[in-house]
Structure 1
Amino acid sequence: MDDDQIPNDRSNESPAEGTAANEAPPRWKLLGPGLVVAATGIGAGDLVATLVAGSKFGYALLWAVIAGVVIKIFLVEGAGRWSLATGHSIFEGWRRLGVWTSIYFGPYILIWGFVYGATAMSASALPIYAAFPQIPFIAYAIFSGLVGAGLVWLGKYHTLEKLVAVFVGLMFLTVVGSAAFAAPNLLDAVKGLIPLIPEGGLINTLSIAGGVGGTITLAAYGYWLKEKGWYQPKWMRVMRIDNSVAYVISGVFVIAMLIIGAELLYSANIAIESGDEGLVELSGVLADRYGAFVGNLFLVGFWAASFSSVLGVWNGVSIMFADFWGQLRKKPEDHPDRRSGGKYYKFYVLWLTFPPMLLLLLGKPVTIIIAYGVLGSLFMPFLAITLLFLLNGRHMPTQWRNGWVLNIILGVIAAIFLILGVNELIGSFSPS
């Protein structure tokens, strides 16, 4: 079947996900896994990073935001193309590159999950606590983790997709609505499309271009494609539409945050914290400027961004762990234990939920944070470089391999992430 033809048969599709015989899927059904991976990747930390960039440099880094969207489109498309063209998961691809990938990925996914679980629960609790401080913060954090685990426990992809769509709607209404209240200066915004790096803004520029929109969840895209029922080359064009449109939507959110930072903070010379607390501070700025309703509305968007990341990670990264652990147990790739809802999947959901509560209670131990920073800083270069090998390797069908243009683009992306990774490594070992 030609790459540009939308699939119109049900051969080798799961009945729940297929379309009627000889009938193209409705256009709205062409969106799904891309929206999940984009919404999962755009968390509170990404919104704060863009907000801080706007508060420091105004619209000067607007071009970097757009570049970041394009970078994620290419990375996620590569992960999706590998899965559809080969029928194998991204971890199976990594495994074929050598045992070193498993040696890195195993400790990474365990340490990452331990620390990220606490981070995600905290981020989800912050906006609720800001609105209702009568209940202790930690209670909201634990409640967020338990609710997230309960919603994804059975691993039902359809449920996840519908929930994420609701959260994306909330984010659009609140975040983009807040940017509209801020009344963007269109002339300054157009100037921000010129690729210039402000003085002292190199790392901010690279962070915005390369760091916004997810890390390990980008690699989960191929798993969500399979859960959706898109797992053959005939779905290639559908995957590309899904991925591109979803990241354009996520780009709108990020641009909205840059507008808010430029118009409300940069112009008024207001500084906010760089952590998730910065979004709570921003809600106060919005409330002072436009009233309590707008400030509280933004808190809803903050919560939607944070909790959609909880759901996406609790599901997508748990599937990745199930695939990894099932392979170590020498189970075939199509074994139920290596899929969503299996026993390894449920173990990792519990791992994301309960051990991190110790970090919430005791504070985050420095040693674990350093290990998290070291392994985390290496993941995006790991993904970009391994995709370069996989998409040009002998296991990739010839017609779906990279051309020289894609190789140059992925090479540049890998270089950006290497620079960012080295910078984060230095930061991990530097005294605070």
Structure 2
Amino acid sequence: MERSGPVEKSVPLAKEQGSGLRRLAKLLGPGIIAVLSWLGAGDLITSSVAGANYGYAMMWVLAVSLLLRFLIVNIIARFQLCNNKGMSILEGYAQLHPVFAWFMLGYALVMGHLTNAYMLKGAGEALATLLHVDYPLLCSVAVVIAVWLLVGRNFYALIEGVMKVLLAVMTLAFITLAVMSGPDLGGILRGTIGFSIPPDEGVHGALLVAVSVIGAVAGSIANFVHPYVMKEKGWTGPEHKRIQRNDLLFAVVVGIIINLAIWVVGVEILRPNGLQVNTLNDLGSALELFFGSGGWLIFFTGVFATLFASVVGKTTAFPMLITDALQHIRPERRERYGKTFHKDPAHKWFLLFILVTPLVWSLPGMPDFVTLTIGVNALNIVGLPVISLGLLIMSNQKSLLGDEYRNNWFENLALGFATLLAIWVAIQLGLQLLG
């Protein structure tokens, strides 16, 4: 059903009454879900590895990636809220050409599987460490069973509440550690404007780490989770554009603080002490150096809880994205089951696929957690050119967005840059691997 017109108005606050922090906590929801979904192991590992191996030299990669994330996710959200046809973001892609729906179906299946692979592996290892048992695979299986019991049971409010607490705890822990370590502000500034790729150090090459940071932040398929979480929150029209933008800005600012703190910990604590980030224990050692056994416990509890929450979020959102893509390829399914994704029998099978099949990566002999995390996040770069190019086209469609909600010149320039950057780094990485 078409909307009468994309006229922005004040957000109804009948349900949002309250004062101060209480009202803010109620309003800020999808952004908090998003930042915890984004954070996970991808940012934790890529930022710490980059800091521990290369100091502040590649800080510019993080800065560019975070800026691109805000722009890309904001454009995605604005399109879904403000187009005059009531289209979802996937419908926007599908109306450009059927190939986009096919691409999103295959890409979300593959990346949903691989993303949960390193999340489950990390959660299992963290839980095994906390319990002092040497059975990470069984702990990963326990996580899968717990997630299965949680998702699809109308626990959105509970998940949101837990994530708010986790966000505060993780942020406080890493900020405290980063401040105590005495960051080199001049080094951070030089690295942010340096635009250089240093010589390889450690197990993981500089270019691979840089691509992994870009993939984990700007190119992550998790960026498409945000519109579905917005819908769960009830933000469905242009009247919610302002609060959505502020919510997203809050999420990105928190993401900047957390990523910067993790990076500083890598530079100022891991690097001087000769600690390479090969396992979660290496990161736990950083907190243990400053806070003793209590710091170690806080770290592994926070890491497990964050990874667990991320698996819940991705297991909830990825099947919706995949089912949405399938229903655009097979429109008769939407006619039969409607727009409520869980009513489509395929949704449950997609959920099982996203949740259960990644356990194969936790079997003995598979790549270690850090290598798997860096590799999967680097693969995100493959989809970034298609995602950014399609978004560039549809977010400039005057017939859907009018003049008010189309991209400005800076957003168009940023999307064009993201496309070219992704192509360039993919080529460079390919040449390096071939060489």
Other-structure match for 1:254: 259
Q: Structure 1 runs of 4+ off > 6 angstroms? A: 1-4, 371-375
CA contact (8 A) 1:91 1:324 kept: yes
Partner secondary structure for residue 400 of structure 2? coil
| 1:29-87 per-position Cα deviation (integer Å, ceiling 9, x unaligned) | 33111221221111213211111211233233334323322111101101101110122
Matched, 1:40 2:37: yes
Judged with a 3 Å threshold, the aligned counterparts in structure 2 of structure 1 residues 151 and 43 are, in CA distance, closer, same or farther, namely same
Other-structure match for 2:323: 322
Cα distance in 1 for partners of 2:41, 2:323 equals 27
Other-structure match for 2:421: 416
Coordinate RMSD, CA, aligned: 3.2
Partner secondary structure for residue 7 of structure 1? coil
- What amino acid is the match of 1:234? E
Alignment map for 1:260-339 (pairs within 5 Å): 260-273=265-278, 277=279, 279-327=280-328, 328-332=330-334, 336=338, 338-339=340-341
CA contact (8 A) 2:216 2:380 kept: no
Cα distance in 2 for partners of 1:342, 1:162 equals 28
Using structure 2 for the length normalisation, give the TM-score: 0.83
Aligned residues: 411
What is the deviation of 1:288?
Answer: 4.1
What is the deviation of 1:321?
Answer: 1.7
Alignment map for 1:16-415 (pairs within 5 Å): 19=16, 26-86=23-83, 87-200=86-199, 201=206, 204-205=209-210, 207-209=212-214, 211-212=216-217, 215-273=220-278, 277=279, 279-327=280-328, 328-332=330-334, 336=338, 338-339=340-341, 343-361=345-363, 376-398=380-402, 399-415=404-420
Other-structure match for 2:203: none
Cα distance in 1 for partners of 2:258, 2:13 equals 35
- What amino acid is the match of 2:11? P
CA contact (8 A) 1:33 1:224 kept: yes
What is the deviation of 1:372?
Answer: 7.6
What is the deviation of 1:243?
Answer: 0.7
* Consecutive unaligned residues in structure 2, runs of 5 or more: 200-205
What is the deviation of 1:333?
Answer: 8.2
Cα distance in 2 for partners of 1:51, 1:183 equals 16
CA contact (8 A) 1:175 1:257 kept: yes
- What amino acid is the match of 1:414? T
Select the residue among 7, 15, 18 that pairs with 2:11: 7
Partner secondary structure for residue 220 of structure 1? helix
CA contact (8 A) 2:119 2:307 kept: yes
| 1:305-362 per-position Cα deviation (integer Å, ceiling 9, x unaligned) | 3222212111111211222233325244895554357644333221122233344347
Q: Please, which moves more after superposition, 83-92 or 254-263?
A: 83-92
- What amino acid is the match of 1:268? N
CA contact (8 A) 1:170 1:304 kept: no
| 1:343-395 per-position Cα deviation (integer Å, ceiling 9, x unaligned) | 44333221122233344347659xxx9x9899744222222111101101255
CA contact (8 A) 2:50 2:58 kept: yes
- What amino acid is the match of 2:389? I
Cα distance in 2 for partners of 1:178, 1:373 equals 26
- What amino acid is the match of 1:418? I
Q: Please, which moves more after superposition, 264-273 or 116-125?
A: 264-273
| 1:163-188 per-position Cα deviation (integer Å, ceiling 9, x unaligned) | 32222123123332332342323443
Partner secondary structure for residue 330 of structure 1? helix
Judged with a 3 Å threshold, the aligned counterparts in structure 2 of structure 1 residues 125 and 244 are, in CA distance, closer, same or farther, namely same
| 1:171-228 per-position Cα deviation (integer Å, ceiling 9, x unaligned) | 1233323323423234433444434425335664454355336611101211111111
Using structure 1 for the length normalisation, give the TM-score: 0.84
Cα distance in 2 for partners of 1:314, 1:425 equals 31
CA contact (8 A) 1:175 1:301 kept: no
Partner secondary structure for residue 193 of structure 2? coil
- What amino acid is the match of 1:251? I
Partner secondary structure for residue 230 of structure 1? coil
- What amino acid is the match of 2:29? G
* Consecutive unaligned residues in structure 1, runs of 5 or more: 11-17
Partner secondary structure for residue 325 of structure 1? helix
Cα distance in 2 for partners of 1:372, 1:205 equals 13
